[in-house]
């Protein structure tokens, strides 16, 4: 027997919400999904009228749904925002070039301006070239650090007031678990913040309107709305550390669907005991970007690549920052530790 929508009790339900368990028709699901994001935006005061907001667009489901919903809500509730799309081309052949075609179609569909910045123009490296040098073990570290800074640089070029990203509830919960497993207290304290802003050059505030939206519901929204998005996983990410946290979280969700929100709420209410030393944020001596060290992670990684010492930015090598800033040569022993280990991995 067909199940009726538990909200309007008029139309046939087409889905059971993973987040709440309610059986809803398409129209009621669309409204509930959009209204929850609207409430998140309003309650957190994410935007102010007249602001220019860059939407981080990758062509994937999260950023495509974010762009669609932001446009809908901006018009429905008259936020008064000027929206545009900002994409980063990491230089991954067979992956990013295809997803950027989706972004270009989204630009036409949503009638929003689009800016694309690339690793090659910003850093002189593509991810394809980086992976050839470092292999498949720590490549996600390079990509994550470079992409974060690339978004900021692109936003500075566009002179936007804020950047909003498609991080969803699953992403946030995974990050919490990763920081717990790493013992990274500083990141654990700030990873659930819905809006982040730091002092320093290029520190444009970021926000996560989809923070409380389940990944499964984002997929359902994109599916029933027939949105145009790119669904292929990055070819270099199978060994990413995040994958282990994701698998664990999915196991928890299958037993207790509220686990995702529970993990987020646990981190939001976390308190650190008095006396724990926390890193002090400053600026990079070389590029002026926000950093808690003399050199930001991006500059250290880039220095390692340019010197043929890719391990320089992997792990803790802060004592070498002085030599890097002074352009001093490293000792033979130091270089030996930082050179890549030859392997037979197939790229």
Residue 251 in marked binding region: no
CA–CA distances in Å: residue 43 to residues 164, 194, 209:
16, 11, 11
171 is in an annotated binding site: yes
Q: Establish whether 57 is an annotated binding residue.
A: yes
Helix (H) or strand (E) run with residue 131 in it: helix 127-134
Task: Give the number of C-alpha atoms closer than 13 A to the C-alpha of residue 322, restricted to the C-beta side.
Answer: 1
* Chain Cα centroid distance, residue 2: 39
Give CA separation, 127 vs 142, 167, 187, 212, 245, in Å: 8, 22, 25, 31, 24
Q: What is the DSSP annotation of 70-101?
A: HHHHHHHTT---EEEEEEEE---TTTHHHHHH
Identify which of 72, 56, 82 has the alpha carbon closest to the alpha carbon of residue 109. Answer: 72
Q: How far apart are CA 253 and CA 261, in angstroms?
A: 10
Instruction: State the DSSP code for 313.
Output: G
Using DSSP's 3-state secondary structure scheme, residue 125 falls into: coil
166 assigned to a ligand binding site: yes
- Residue 91 assigned ligand-binding role: no
Are the C-beta atoms of 168 and 257 separated by less than 8 Å? no
Strand partners, 113: none
Q: Is 56 annotated as a binding residue?
A: yes
CA distance 231 to 234: 10
Q: How far apart are CA 334 and CA 313, in angstroms?
A: 13
| Angle (nearest 5°) at CA 86 between 84 and 90 | 165
For residues 176 and 264, the answer to whether their CB atoms sit within 8 Å is: yes
Which residue positions form the known binding site?
A: 56-58, 62, 88, 166, 171
Which residue positions form the known binding site for ATP?
A: 56-58, 62, 88, 166, 171
């Amino acid at each position: 027997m067909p199940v009726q929508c538990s909200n309007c009790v008029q139309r046939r339900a087409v889905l059971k919400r993973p987040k709440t368990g309610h059986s809803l028709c398409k129209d009621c699901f669309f409204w509930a999904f959009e209204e929850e994001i609207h409430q998140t935006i309003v309650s957190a005061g994410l935007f102010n009228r007249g602001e220019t907001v860059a939407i981080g667009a990758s062509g994937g489901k999260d950023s495509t749904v974010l762009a669609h919903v932001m446009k809908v809500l901006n018009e429905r509730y008259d936020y008064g925002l000027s929206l545009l799309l900002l994409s980063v081309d990491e230089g991954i052949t067979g992956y990013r070039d295809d997803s950027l075609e989706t972004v270009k179609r989204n630009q036409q569909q949503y009638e929003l301006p689009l800016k694309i910045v690339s690793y090659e123009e910003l850093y002189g490296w593509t991810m394809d070239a980086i992976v050839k040098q470092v292999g498949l073990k720590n490549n996600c570290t390079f990509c994550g650090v470079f992409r974060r800074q690339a978004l900021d640089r692109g936003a500075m070029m566009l002179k936007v007031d804020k950047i909003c990203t498609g991080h969803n509830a699953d992403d946030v919960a995974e990050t919490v678990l990763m920081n717990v497993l790493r013992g990274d207290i500083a990141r654990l304290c700030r990873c659930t913040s819905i809006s982040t802003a730091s002092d320093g050059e290029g520190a444009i505030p970021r926000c996560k309107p989809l923070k409380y939206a389940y990944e499964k519901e984002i997929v359902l929204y994109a599916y029933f709305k027939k949105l145009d998005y790119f669904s292929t996983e990055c070819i270099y990410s199978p060994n990413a550390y995040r994958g282990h946290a994701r698998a664990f979280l999915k196991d928890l969700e299958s037993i207790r669907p509220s686990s995702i929100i529970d993990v987020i709420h646990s981190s939001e209410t976390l308190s650190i005991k008095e006396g724990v030393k926390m890193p002090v944020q400053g600026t990079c001596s070389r590029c002026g970007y926000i950093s808690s060290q003399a050199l930001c992670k991006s500059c250290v990684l880039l220095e390692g690549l340019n010197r043929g010492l890719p391990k320089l930015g992997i792990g803790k090598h802060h004592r070498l920052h002085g030599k890097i800033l002074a352009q001093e040569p490293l000792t033979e022993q130091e270089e030996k530790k930082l050179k890549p280990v030859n392997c037979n991995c197939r790229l």
